[in-house]
Homo-oligomer: A and B are copies of this chain.
Amino acid sequence: MEDIKEKLSPTMEDYLEIISSICKENKVARIGEIAKKMEVRNPSVNAAMKFLCEKELVHHEKYGFVSLTNKGQKIASEIQDKHDVLYKFLTEILWIDKRIADKDACEMEHAISKHTFTRLIKFFKFLEEGLVCCRPKLLQNFETYLKTGERVKCNCKKQE
């Protein structure tokens, strides 16, 4: 049976993502640290934790630490995965500057569907296994093209 998924807002997704990243570093997250990373004030975090507690996505007791439930961790990972794939696409295929790529990925991770996400992964797999002769050059050539405007000729012969 499927979870009746009430879609989370981008904001709440960001909270989960940030809590997850803090917990990876420090085991647990504190209200103040979440606030700093989210660039909001403590009371906003409190309100969000109340909401996420009710949805059973985080654990939080008064004056205590915050941590993710299994359900919360699962969602956080999904968003992080979307972020990573988008970041990879932006930096390794479009050759976007890392700063901008990270910012764009942060926005787009909330917009991209699961379908497109898995398709992007397949696209990477396809490119990695690639065509026999020219494949590895294609994306490198794009980088050269961006820098110089020059197009590198494929170094193989047409067969017929």
Interface set of A (CB-CB < 8 Å, partner B): 90, 93-97, 100-101, 103-104, 107-108, 110-113, 115-116, 119-120, 122-123, 126, 129, 131-135, 137-138, 141-142, 145-146, 151, 153-160
Q: Is the CB of A94 within 8 A of B120?
A: yes
A124 and B108 CA atoms in complex are apart in Å by 20
Most chain B CB within a 10 A radius of its CB, from A135, A146, A154, A159? A154
Q: Is the CB of A111 within 8 A of B113?
A: no
A132 and B152 CA atoms in complex are apart in Å by 9
Residue of B nearest to A93 (CB): B123
A5 to chain B, nearest CB (A): 16
* Tally of this chain's copies: 2
Q: Which of B123, B129, B141 lies in contact with A131, CB distance below 8 A?
A: B141
Q: Is the CB of B123 within 8 A of A113?
A: no
A134 and B97 CA atoms in complex are apart in Å by 28
A142 and B122 CA atoms in complex are apart in Å by 9
Residue of B nearest to A101 (CB): B116
Q: Is the CB of B153 within 8 A of A156?
A: no
Which 10 pairs from chain A and chain B are nearest by CB?
A107-B111, A131-B154, A108-B111, A134-B134, A94-B119, A133-B158, A111-B111, A157-B157, A156-B156, A156-B159
A121 and B158 CA atoms in complex are apart in Å by 28
